[in-house]
Amino acid sequence: MRLHWRLFNILLILLVLLAGCATMSQPPGRTPKHCSDSPQSAVVRFLEGIIGWSLAPIRLVIAEGMTILGVFGGGDAKKGWEIAKQLYHHPEVLDGISEAGIQRLEPVELVELGNGETRVLLEREDAVSRYADERRLGDPREVVEKKFRRNFAVRFQEGTNCITAVRAMDPQWVRTE
């Protein structure tokens, strides 16, 4: 009888130790980062960071473990930089005597595509300044406001509204007025 109690106590101690080791080997349960109440508000905050040249709002709405350029480039920072520039690139400013500044960049329409992506139609309004010469001496010769639209696909992490990928769907910005 004494032998049974000893075996029972040894088994009990082993079970307690094994349970403790199993608990310690698993990462503690964390709730995933919740980025936004809706995809729309995540996109708005993301664009606020882009228009304001501020990384803080962008970091708030991208999924944990992702980098900002990784979001644009599928994990490849170099490719991400090229895609990120497409948000800033003005299609009509190609010579050395013009420059453009984004005045407004906002989502006009969000449509769920059904493959885990959401199509975001962006509208941007730019102030294009043309100078008399390349040295940009003096005031601009003319400043023209122009509006453009372009579709981008945004992928969100399920249940968190965190952005995991952004890609251009249209080859370029299209002028609307």
Q: List the domain boundaries for the chain.
A: 34-175
Q: How far apart are CA 14 and CA 20, in angstroms?
A: 10
* Tokens 């995933």 -> residue: 32
Question: In this predicted structure, what is the pLDDT of residue 137?
Answer: 63
Q: How far apart are CA 14 and CA 78, in angstroms?
A: 53
CATH class of 34-175: alpha beta
Angle at CA of residue 40, ends 109 and 173, nearest 5°: 45
In this structure, which long-range contacts are made by residues 79-87, counting pairs with CB atoms below 8 Å and at least 24 apart in sequence? 83/166, 83/167, 83/168, 86/168, 87/50, 87/122
Q: Residues 98-129: pLDDT tens digits?
A: 566 778 889 999 999 988 899 999 998 887 77
Q: Residues 25-84: pLDDT tens digits?
A: 334 566 678 999 999 999 999 998 888 888 899 999 999 988 988 998 888 888 888 888
| Number of Cβ within a 10 Å radius of residue 155 | 19
Q: Residues 81-98: pLDDT tens digits?
A: 888 877 766 666 655 555
For the full predicted model, state whether its pTM sits above 0.85. no
